[in-house]
Amino acid sequence: ETGVTQSPTHLIKTRGQQVTLRCSSQSGHNTVSWYQQALGQGPQFIFQYYREEENGRGNFPPRFSGLQFPNYSSELNVNALELDDSALYLCASSPWGKTQYFGPGTRLLVL
Amino acid sequence: GQQLNQSPQSMFIQEGEDVSMNCTSSSIFNTWLWYKQDPGEGPVLLIALYKAGELTSNGRLTAQFGITRKDSFLNISASIPSDVGIYFCAGQEDSGGGADGLTFGKGTHLIIQP
């Protein structure tokens, strides 16, 4: 059974650019959640996708958006990147209503 | 964003010692989770707690869901070198994987001296 995978592993962007991060959920999991983890902090909930729709959102601006595809994989898009967007972005998948399992993350550096 | 109060922030212990860390919140949670994160990796689930007062073990790890639903603790017995890492508590207001997402603590950094 394949766990949660994310791509790319690392990414460097400049301020104002746009970025897309990708996540493949674990087999049998139909729900995907995205988190931002700044250095030295715990992960912060960005949003969750279920049945290809945003199902809940944390305290993040609209320039953070996402998609979920019929195979339950997901994308996180961030527009107009700011320096403070530099962080580890984590994807977690779960069956609906069950415990979340995390991928290895994508480390984004904004210069 | 909201974070749970997790303590201690870091622990320096000798191999073989027992470890205890806890997490408190001003909000009630219906689920408490404990994760471990190694450098460059995502959090790995250690223990999940779904009922107030529940005490659950996973090998040398034991965790409890506080009776008030506002706190949880994690104990590690007889620590070994591979226990090194950052431990996070996480709470969820829904009973399952609902739309609120997980709220995390800032982590307890465990360092073991041989």
Instruction: Provide, rounded to the nearest whole percent, the portion of chain B with pLDDT above 70.
Output: 92
Name the minimum distance, in Å, from the CA of B79 to any CA of chain A: 23
Q: Which pLDDT belongs to residue A99?
A: 87
- The first and second tokens of residue A71, run together, are 């195979």
- Arithmetic mean of pLDDT over chain B: 91
Please compute the mean of the pLDDT values over residues B60-70 and round it to a whole number.
96
Closest residue by Cα to residue A6 from B36, B85, B40 = B40
Chunked into runs of 10 residues, chain A (111 residues) has average pLDDT values of: 89 98 94 96 95 92 97 97 98 89 97 97
A 37-66 residues with CB < 8 A to B: 40-48, 50, 55-56, 58-59
The pLDDT confidence band at residue B93, using thresholds 50, 70 and 90, is confident
CA dihedral for B100, A107, B88, B50, sign (positive or negative)? positive
Name the minimum distance, in Å, from the CA of A5 to any CA of chain B: 10
Q: Is pLDDT at B82 greater than 90 in this prediction?
A: yes
Write the CB contacts of B42 (distance below 8 Å, at least 6 apart in sequence): A4, A90, A92, A102, A103, A104, A105
Phi, psi of A36 (to 5 degrees): -110, 130
DSSP single-letter state for residue A84 = G
Closest residue by Cα to residue A103 from A53, A31, A44, A34 = A34
The contact set of B with A (CB < 8 A) is 1, 3-4, 6, 31, 33, 35, 40-45, 48, 88, 90, 94-107
A5 in contact with chain B, both atoms CB, cutoff 8 A: no
